């Protein structure tokens, strides 16, 4: 089992990423940390607690992190995820608490205590991760790799070239990609291959209990905003792709490349300039995802959710 910490901004796709990470036997989810992104920190943290309550995940600490980007004002994605950040289904009161430690301090402590290096899986803006590397530079040696959802080798989704997670905090992204820690970038170019079709929604509904129908409702809402905003016939399940890369690297094909983060561009702030052909003359600083085995990805996801469901029954 690969020990991981999931840093997220739930967020509909983050919610599924939490369940994949908690349910799949290939990874050991040590902690969930939250960051402001899709919604404000109080909402993303409440949503993480809601998802863990729904999924029956009571043994993974949840810690809240940064409430705003390193230097810029926060920009949320209410148009995509709704005012709550997890619009669609109704959730009861969460039965999973948030710990008192700041996310960065919890990650630092776990990195020091864990007997082997830990994989960090950020699926929101990289503010918490950048702050960890800045506040505790020695922790870099305790990080096996950073496998993140963010960026794109092609176009963006909050500007012509900027993807949301990088756009919200490009300074944080520059710190992470420049840290020397092994980074794998799962960008829009590959997450747009993970489309939640009606067939996938039906598989979720068939899971039974509360878990299946709520996951289906989450995806139905997510589909409505992706249809309205971008004309997608099915929404892309971004964040679980990063978790899947850790679970089974063969699911996500990667190439080595230098990735430069645009932090000053008048029209390109937050763009990931992925140098696939070495034009910049810089050595690779990341593995960049370029392909997804979508059928096996969804089989693995549904399997993990079935395991969670079975755990609720037993
Ligand atoms: O651009 C997609 C990413 O931004 C996903 O992680 C989504 O949850 C939002 O955080
Ligand atoms: Ca996210």
List, for residues 172-217, the tens digit of each pLDDT value: 999 999 999 999 999 999 999 999 999 999 999 999 889 999 999 9
Three-state DSSP class for 29? strand
Q: Which atom of ligand 1 is nearest to the CA of 165?
A: 4
Report the pLDDT value the prediction gives residue 313, as an integer from 0 to 100: 61
Report the pLDDT value the prediction gives residue 118, as an integer from 0 to 100: 98
Q: Is the CB of 145 under 6 A from ligand 1?
A: no
Which DSSP symbol is given to 177? Answer: H
The CA-CA-CA angle for residues 50, 56, 62, to 5°, reads 55
| Domains assigned to the chain | 2-313 (3.90.245.10)
Report the pLDDT value the prediction gives residue 312, as an integer from 0 to 100: 75
| Mean pLDDT, the chain, integer | 97
List, for residues 274-311, the tens digit of each pLDDT value: 999 999 999 999 999 999 999 999 999 999 999 999 88
pLDDT band at 56 (very low <50, low <70, confident <90, very high): very high
Determine the average pLDDT of the residues in 79-89: 98
For residues 52 and 18, what is the distance between their CA atoms, to the nearest angstrom? 8
Q: How far is the CA of 314 from the centre of ligand 1 (A)?
A: 33
Report the pLDDT value the prediction gives residue 192, as an integer from 0 to 100: 98
Q: Is the CB of 193 under 6 A from ligand 1?
A: no
The H-assigned helical ranges of the chain are: 12-23, 41-55, 78-81, 103-113, 127-135, 164-168, 170-177, 188-191, 198-205, 211-230, 238-247, 294-313
pLDDT band at 144 (very low <50, low <70, confident <90, very high): very high
List, for residues 155-169, the tens digit of each pLDDT value: 999 989 999 999 999
Q: How far is the CA of 28 from the centre of ligand 1 (A)?
A: 23
pLDDT band at 24 (very low <50, low <70, confident <90, very high): very high
Determine the average pLDDT of the residues in 221-250: 98
CB atoms within 10 A of CB 23: 25
What percentage of the chain carries pLDDT values higher than 70?
Answer: 99
| Residue 150 Ramachandran class (φ > 0 left, ψ -120 to 50 alpha, else beta) | left
pLDDT band at 104 (very low <50, low <70, confident <90, very high): very high
Residue with CA nearest ligand 1 atom 10: 124
For residues 186 and 194, what is the distance between their CA atoms, to the nearest angstrom? 12
Q: Which atom of ligand 1 is nearest to the CA of 149?
A: 6
Q: How far is the CA of 82 from the centre of ligand 2 (A)?
A: 13
The residues that bridge with 183 in the sheet, in sequence order, are 146
Residue 134 scores a pLDDT above 90: yes
Q: Is the CB of 149 under 6 A from ligand 1?
A: yes
Determine the average pLDDT of the residues in 246-252: 98
Residue with CA nearest ligand 1 atom 1: 164
Q: What is this structure's pTM?
A: 0.98
Ligand number nearest to the C-alpha of 37: 1
Give yes or no for a contact between 239 and 33, defined as CB atoms under 8 angstroms apart.
Answer: no
For residues 73 and 138, what is the distance between their CA atoms, to the nearest angstrom? 29
The residues that bridge with 7 in the sheet, in sequence order, are 33, 122
Is 81 part of the annotated catalytic residue set? no
Q: Which atom of ligand 1 is nearest to the CA of 38?
A: 10
Q: Is the CB of 238 under 6 A from ligand 1?
A: yes
Catalytic residue among 192, 238, 267, 277: 238
Q: How far is the CA of 163 from the centre of ligand 1 (A)?
A: 8
Report the pLDDT value the prediction gives residue 314, as an integer from 0 to 100: 56
Report the pLDDT value the prediction gives residue 208, as an integer from 0 to 100: 81
């Amino acid at each position: 089992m690969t020990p991981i910490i999931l840093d997220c901004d739930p967020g509909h796709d983050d919610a599924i990423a939490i369940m994949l990470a908690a349910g799949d036997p290939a990874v050991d989810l040590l902690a969930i940390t939250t960051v402001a992104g899709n919604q404000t920190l109080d909402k993303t943290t409440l949503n993480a607690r809601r998802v863990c309550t729904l999924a029956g995940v009571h043994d993974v600490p949840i810690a809240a992190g940064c409430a705003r980007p390193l230097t810029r004002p926060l920009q949320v994605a209410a148009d995509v995820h709704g005012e709550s950040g997890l619009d669609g289904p109704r959730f009861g009161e969460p039965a999973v608490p948030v710990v008192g430690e700041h996310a960065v301090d919890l990650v630092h402590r776990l990195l020091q205590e864990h007997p082997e290096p830990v994989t960090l899986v950020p699926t929101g803006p990289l503010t918490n991760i950048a702050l960890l590397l800045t506040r505790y530079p020695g922790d870099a040696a305790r990080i096996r790799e950073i496998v993140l959802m963010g960026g794109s080798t092609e176009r963006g989704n909050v500007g012509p070239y900027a993807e949301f997670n990088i756009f919200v905090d490009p300074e944080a992204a520059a710190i992470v990609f420049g840290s020397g820690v092994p980074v794998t970038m799962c960008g829009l170019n590959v997450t747009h291959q993970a489309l939640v079709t009606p067939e996938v929604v039906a598989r979720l509904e068939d899971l039974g209990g509360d878990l299946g129908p709520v996951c289906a409702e989450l995806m139905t809402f997510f589909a409505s905003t992706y249809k309205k905003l971008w004309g997608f016939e099915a929404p892309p399940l971004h964040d679980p792709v990063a978790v899947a890369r850790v679970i089974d690297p063969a699911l996500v094909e990667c190439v080595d490349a230098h990735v430069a983060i645009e932090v000053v561009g008048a029209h390109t702030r937050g763009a990931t300039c992925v140098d696939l052909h070495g034009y910049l003359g810089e050595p690779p600083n990341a593995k960049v995802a370029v392909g997804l085995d979508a059928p096996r990805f969804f089989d693995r996801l549904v399997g993990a959710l079935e395991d969670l469901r079975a755990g609720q029954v037993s």
